[in-house]
Structure 1
Amino acid sequence: MEKRMVVAQQDVPARLVPVGTKMTIPSGSFVTLTQALGGNYTVVYNGNMARVDGTDAHALGLESEQLQFSPADGDTIREDDVWYALKTVFDPEIPVNLVDLGLIYNVDIDQANKQVKIDMTLTAPGCGMGPVLVGDVEYRVKLVPNVENVEVELVFDPPWHRDMMSEEAQLETGMFF
């Protein structure tokens, strides 16, 4: 994708790269679109890199990603919907989702408190994009019907290794042996 300038059509929720701090890009602001990968966008605004979730792309005048969840089942959080949301979060450096990369270790749903707790890891403990990935997971899982709170804990035991990847992810990344 070549870099191009776009104008925010409305206030745009975003997260600073690599720290993941939430910010808002004001309507009418010029941003440089530098990357579109995994349904998310990386932009430069006032000299800072930021990630814009693909579900908010309309605010940049782009086509938004539409997530399709199961019909609501009362107040119940459906585990299938949580896993679906997680499969829409992609590593910002490779076009593979976090589930197929084997980065999601556990999902615990507390129906009474409408909370989802996720244990996840990174491909490397020093990964500079860790806070951004955590923010991506929180943002997407909060879109699941009936979810009010999301808690993501980064864990490094067991350490991630390529055998945790799905076969499809191994083929996609050329790591299939």
Structure 2
Amino acid sequence: MADREVVFLSRDVNIVTIPDGHQGTLNKGQEVTIHQSLGSNYTVITDYGHMVRIAGVDADALGKEVHELQTLVAESDSKAVEKNCWEVMKTVYDPEIPVNIVDLGLVYECSVTSNSEGGNDVHVQMTLTAPGCGMGPVIQGDVEKSIRVLPGVRSVNVEVVLDPPWSREMMSEVAQVQLGLY
């Protein structure tokens, strides 16, 4: 999002502060500037200069519509589920960086195995841009929630690993171009 949009909250809204990941609330009528609206969440700057994240389910407080996830493949076999997992992970963004976590190189592995109950178990191994990232649990939760709603998924395990450590070289060429590093 290139243009910054100033809005006044239409109701109280839960937030997560960036970069420490603490939860809080902004009050109805408070002025915020939308800094980033990628994926289904919003990164805003409060009128007192703090960067916070507002979940997509609370988009109405910003006067926006809630984003609906569109599944690319309707089948629920393990191959289709894996494809959908990668696609929905591309809708998850670090709230400070306008690049999705897949192109950032944060997702190391996504494995899908069929289980005896007819569903699929998903295991994702991912990392963070910095080991002490306060937003790590939030991003991890976003990945889990986005995969859990996919057709054919029975269970999801999102594991955050710090070895190997993330580096800029892990970013896709697209991400490097987006960030002006290429």
**Partner residue, 1:16:** 16
TM-score w.r.t. the length of structure 1 is 0.75
1:115-157 deviations in Å (ceiling 9; x for gaps): 3211100111122221221122122222322324322111111
| Structure 2 residue 181 is the aligned partner of structure 1 residue 175 | yes
Q: How does 1:114-129 map to 2 (within 5 A)?
A: 114-129=120-135
TM-score of the superposed pair, with normalisation by structure 2: 0.73
The number of residue pairs the alignment matches comes to 166
Please give the alpha-carbon distance, in whole angstroms, between the structure 1 residues aligned to 2:82 and 2:163.
24
Alignment deviations for residues 11-58 of structure 1 (CA, whole Å, 9 cap, x no partner)? 97x66344477x9x8xx95565444332312467xxx98644336524
Closer/same/farther in 2, CA of residues 109 and 20 from structure 1, 3 Å limit: farther
* Distance verdict in 2 for CA 1:122–1:68, change over 3 Å: same
Q: Distance in 1 between matches of 2:22 and 2:139?
A: 8
1:138–1:20 distance in 2 versus 1, CA, 3 Å? farther
Structure 2 unaligned segments of length 5 or more: list them: none
> Is 2:70 aligned against 1:64?
no
Which one is further off, 89-98 or 107-116?
107-116
> 2:145, 2:31 → 1: CA distance?
22
Alignment partners' CA distance in 1, 2:151 and 2:54: 21
Which residue identity lines up with residue 16 of structure 2 in the other structure? L
C-alpha distance in structure 2 between counterparts of 1:122 and 1:152, whole Å = 12
Structure 1 unaligned segments of length 5 or more: list them.
none
- Work out the CA distance in 2 between the residues paired with 1:150 and 1:94: 25
**CA gap 1:15/1:146 in 2 versus in 1, 3 angstroms:** farther
Which residue of 139, 143, 146 maps to 2:145? 139
Q: State the identity as a percent.
A: 46
